[in-house]
Structure 1
Amino acid sequence: MRSTDNLQALTREIFKVTTKIQSSYPELYFLLNETPLFMSPNEKSITLKDLKQYLATIRMQLITFEKDKK
């Protein structure tokens, strides 16, 4: 099982990335409010798939932002 296959690991990783963004790039952290959490229209609650997609999105934002800063 990969480390991002359970809810606790996913939320921990989202927190880790978000904290890095907050401390290193506050201007990007401000924009996270505009980063949507896409939810499946068939689900009534947030799924692991939704969280994985959100994590991938904020990771890509961080990577792109870091590249642009160099």
Structure 2
Amino acid sequence: MPGVHRTRYRTSGDVSRLMFLSPADLASMLEEEAIVTAARRLAIGLMKRGGGLHGRHHSDALADAIFPGR
């Protein structure tokens, strides 16, 4: 179901999960500075904590490309 959903991650606490139906909807969301800032904060926070469920799949090069100056 599209929209904003609240959830909780063990490593970062409460977060808002954004659900969308199409790539165009995602692109539109990513034009919102508040959404980009929150996504950046969450992603970097998860990477810094390490040891998460998907930590072995993190790519510092990809994170640098998406979030310059992290």
Higher relative contact order, chain-length normalized (CA < 8 Å, sep 6+): 1
So what's the TM-score if we normalise by structure 2? 0.32
So what's the TM-score if we normalise by structure 1? 0.32
